[in-house]
Chain A
Amino acid sequence: MKELNDNQIGAVKDLIFRMADDELILGHRNSEWTALGPILEEDIAFSSMAQDKLGQAHAMYQILHKLGEADPDTIAFTRDEKDFKCCHLVEFPIGEYDFSLMRHFLFDSAEALRFEMLMGSSYDDLANVAKKFKGEIKYHIMHADTWLVQLGNANEISKARMQSSLNECFPLALGIFEPSDFEETLIKDNIFPGEKRLQEEWLKFISPVITSAGLILPDINNCEPAFGGRKGYHTEYLKPLLDEMTEVYDIDPGAEW
């Protein structure tokens, strides 16, 4: 469908804000590896993935603009912290390389599945960008899987680091799937099959990779999912990131580049 009713507009906007804010913030975090990667190829990989994420965020903010929100730059650079709907996982500082790699694996796996689901969305604009993003994120998955398996099986130190990052990232990653107030509309109107379904698919998708990396998935029943981000409650790390991200914009918001 091309036109949405009011209820659907609310649901679609909420979904897109969550997705696009995740991409913007993680894109910014990934870019912090530029010139700092452990090897040149990884420096380039994280920078390139950052570029993809910012591009995808921009394309999604553009849909919001069509639905009556401000233009992409205004949405990205002028909102208060509480208006962001990103999950906590993407807000954390890059930490050591193992943390960034594990976050990238867990997040991008969920995102790839989300795009795959959205390819069949009844809302055309969302289905179209999902078809586009699916081809791009394939390379992110390939990258994450390769390194996860390699480092999980390399030596005791790398294995221990990867396991400890997995233990730290897993409850944060469960926060990706914090249900929205619009789940019913999204599912009923075939816009998106819902966060619960996505989480189930995600667990099926990541489990075999974690096993081939020789790692152990934490028991989901003993994990407290890091909820709150989708409702505007963020970690202490988001505000400083937003301040840094908007530092130049704030000097002259109307500037032409």
Chain B
Amino acid sequence: MSNAPQQQQWGSRLGVILAVAGSAVGLGNFLRFPGNAAENGGGAFMIPYFLALVLVGIPIGWAEWAMGRYGGRKGFHSAPAILGVWCKGAWGRYAGMFGVLIPLGVYFYYVLIESWCLYYFWKYCTGGIGVVAGSDVIDAQVPTTHGFFGDVVGAAEHGALFTGANGMHPVLLAFGITVVLNVWFVYRGLSKGIETVCKYAMPVMALLGLVILLRVLTLDAPAATVGQTVNDGLGYLWNPNFEKLTDFKTWVAATGQIFFSLSVGFGVIINYASYMKKKDDVVLSGLTASATNEFFEVVLGGLITVTASVVFVGAFLTSQATGGSMSLGFKTLPMVFAQMPGGNFFGAAFFLILFLAAITSSLSMLQPTKAFFEEALGIDKVKSTTLVTLWGLAGNAFVLWYSKGLTALDTIDFWVGSVFIMVVAAVQIVAFGWIFGLDRGIAEAHEGAQMRIPKFFQFVIKYVAPAYLFVILIGFCTNNMPGYIDTLLGKVSTTAKADLKTHRQIGNDFPDEPKRTYSWKQVDGPPVTLSDAKAKAPSFPFQEPANAKNFDVKFELAVSDGTNSKTYPIVVGVDVESPGAARLTWVFLIVTIVALLAITAAGAKRWRREGRDLDGLQPAAD
């Protein structure tokens, strides 16, 4: 028998499914997915996307559900303890520490984005964010939306949100409300808190999403703007470009999208499933949660945002925004709502959806950490909630303060929210298929199951998913890691390109794009070496100087079509302050990691002293 304290439990089967789906459905479904698809082959992107869903997403999800429930039967609820059981030893526990670091680390910045959604929602309820309908998009609307977003996130200077000319920025009030809501619902517990929120939030999100979808699909071509139709918007996203399938980056992007969207390897599913009973179905529940996430992503995410953006602001501005999810949501869509009849209502509805999607996710980030503190330190829920709140606030304060260029947010998002997730997922699938044993693992998953895991998936779990994951992890790191490592080392790479206004001017002066040639010449600023002075957008490296301060480099860009030529002044900002902020962020992360490792070690001592089976040597109790 286990000496574990009295366990919490879910109120219903539907409750746990909606809680896991709520954790998975987030900003990425509505903003990142359509941008990713549009950039990586449109309809053709769906081939590697669905392949990754079948070969990686669903199988690892099933493994995580089964591992969590099995750990729960041994009285454990945190990733370190449960992976220690499945991996039969201390290394699993310490690898499992990442299953606490990930939700806690992502919470450091995610709750800030959540508060932006709440602030935008409030602004749309009270008249919008100041974009004037019918005004010139590039001259008036882009500066307005970009300026508003920059103010909200404090992008101009570190600490700008606290020390602005008008005092503290009102988004901090939205942040305070968001934190209080999160802490309150997590404190109330699984059934009364998280489950209740998800049971209401998920249907509301689906309903509001369908209302907005109906509005988008029935839009008329707006006479005052660029005049694209809904069919053009859908074509922009869904027309397949099969050439992209020959690019490995497309496969990495598709697998990454599935991976981050389903929340596998996040440390959340393993925690949520640990509160299920032995006879609760994990196979159908896992599949249903994944399917729900896919519905929000493909049906609502795939039809709303990019379509509306193309109709109202055109393909060019949409393409500028699809690289990052925040640009599309916070900078481009406000221009759409300004043009749309009833725009303030639909803007408020859209940001309410984003807020609900975000809060159901952020709740799932606090719960695994809270459970870890309770079982590793032997403290009650008041103390664990207080500890997780204070630790979360410390991380929030760090990200809020180091807001310039969003470097701290971006650094944590890449390392914790991307790389570490893949590492945890790899540990989980190896523990399930190879260490614990595939047959035992599948038998555990089938306990109380309404449907069996097909034989095909058993082969996939054992061989295909680990190999696929390994290849994608290598690909993802090869594509993205050098830039982040260079930043830490102070090597800043900057792209020289025309701003939107100049870009439009060049388009007007030289409409025949294939005939254009470019020639860059530096005229001011510290000397830099361009990668290719004849390229449309060359880059240049710059080593971080002592006492780094951002500066501008001025160029003259000569454009010609063979007959005429013209020179344009271009000013490019060089961000040499980001390496310092990125290194400080890593110091903060290392302190967090060391503290979590120490708590894991303390927990292991405690569990051993209590006579609990922390190395998974005994079968689980019923």
Bound pair: A and B? Answer: no
